[in-house]
Amino acid sequence: MRVLFNALSVTNLSGRHVLLGHLSRLAKWTLGQHEYVVLYHKINRDICRNLGNNVQWVECSEYTSHWVIRSLWERIVLPVRVSKLGIDIYFTPAGTAVHSLRIPQIVFAQNPWCLVDGLKRSWLEKIKAFLQKREYRIAMRDAAMMVFNSEYMRHAYRENACSEEKVSLVVYQAIDGKARSAAFSMRNTEKRAYQVLSVSVMAPHKGIETLVKAIGTIRKLYGIPVKLVLVGGWPDSKYEHLIRSLIIELNLESEVEIKGHVSDHDLYRYYAESKLFCLMSRCESFGIPAIEAQAFGTPVVSSNCCAIPEVCGKGGVYFNPDNVNGVASQIAQLLEDDKTWSDISDAAIENAEKYRWEMCSKPLVKMFDIVANVST
């Protein structure tokens, strides 16, 4: 079979990590059986890799990097490309199906942004969310198979569609080998007793304000000299200004460090030396940084309303992201209770072992037989 991987929507690091992780294993495991054609554009050209003789890379117009133009291009141009390339199966990580395709479509769903109520959105974002929710419902109806990166995502899609898909798989994602090797070599790094780390794209739905307020509460109510390190970019300058203003308002300039983007070496060092990893996100379909932290033996404190409890299991504790006092209490307890911290740290290391590509990608091999059966 010839499988088309549409990577036109893959423009961020986590998306590239997931696509390349799964595709590299599929290409290796099905060499001589299946061929893969990957669509990309100038903006994400750096995803191209030599993944074997059964993987072909095809560059499309750079205008397809914009979601509106891409949607039109997929309706009008993609069917022609599919025919010329002799494609048998279409695979997309965008979470949506293409209306005009006449071949089986496998839709990989991993973005819950439009499905989470209560997030602050501009009027343009509200329109985009409305359109995305509609397209997600169509995907559930039309896709030969849905692939979800967590049970949380499967439930969210079903709730949005008010129905179930034809057939589906839950396929988790893995941390890369470089991070795993670093975790193994740095696992005996001495922890900074009161350092809390948060790694993420610092978007408004990540709950950074809850975390900053919790740090202020911990110092005020518990007298613990906790320090918070924030690692990751700030795509919303207004949100960054809000957080910086909050830090000043709470007199936490010495207690909260905003690092922005850091090198892999520094990221691994923060994972290794931090006592806790904390992310109070209201919108998370998986949570790769949380699993990476666990590999370093760093327990996770996170929100109970997304996929992180499912993914991180007993290697963390989970709380309502809107309950600042509750979050502060959980962090304070783990910083002071060495026995509980040690037990959760051990569970975190054990849990992270499950997220290897060799294990996570294996269910995807079933898609060829599943789609063949659905299509007949």
CATH class of the domain whose range is 2-174+357-375: alpha beta
CA–CA distance, 145 with 139 (Å, rounded to integer): 9
Residues 177-352, CATH architecture: 3-Layer(aba) Sandwich (3.40)
Confidence of residue 100 (pLDDT cuts 50, 70, 90): confident
The helix (H) or strand (E) run that includes residue 367 is helix 367-375
Residue keyed to tokens 């520094």: 266
Encode pLDDT of 53-91 as tens digits: 999 999 999 999 998 899 999 999 999 999 999 999 999
Q: What is the CA radius of gyration of the chain?
A: 21
Residue 280 has pLDDT above 80, yes or no: yes
pTM of the full structure: 0.94
pLDDT at 375: 61
Q: What is the mean pLDDT of the chain?
A: 95
Residue 228 in tokens? 């918070």
Q: What burial class does residue 370 get, using C-beta atoms within 10 Å of its C-beta: 0-12 exposed, 13-18 middle, 19+ buried?
A: middle
Which residues of the chain form CATH 3.40.50.2000?
A: 2-174+357-375, 177-352
Q: How confident is the model at residue 117 (pLDDT cuts 50, 70, 90)?
A: confident
Q: Could you read off the pLDDT of 325-364 as tens digits, one per residue?
A: 999 999 999 999 999 999 999 999 999 999 999 999 999 9
CA–CA separation, 338 and 183 (whole Å): 21
Q: What is the pLDDT of residues 233-260, one digit of tens each?
A: 999 999 999 999 999 999 999 999 999 9
Q: Using one digit for the tens of pLDDT, what is the confidence trace for 163-177?
A: 999 999 999 999 999
The answer, yes or no, to whether residue 308 has pLDDT greater than 80, is yes
pLDDT of residue 237: 94
In the predicted model, is pLDDT for residue 376 greater than 60?
Answer: no
Quick one: which of 12, 122, 128, 10 has its CA closest to 68?
Answer: 128
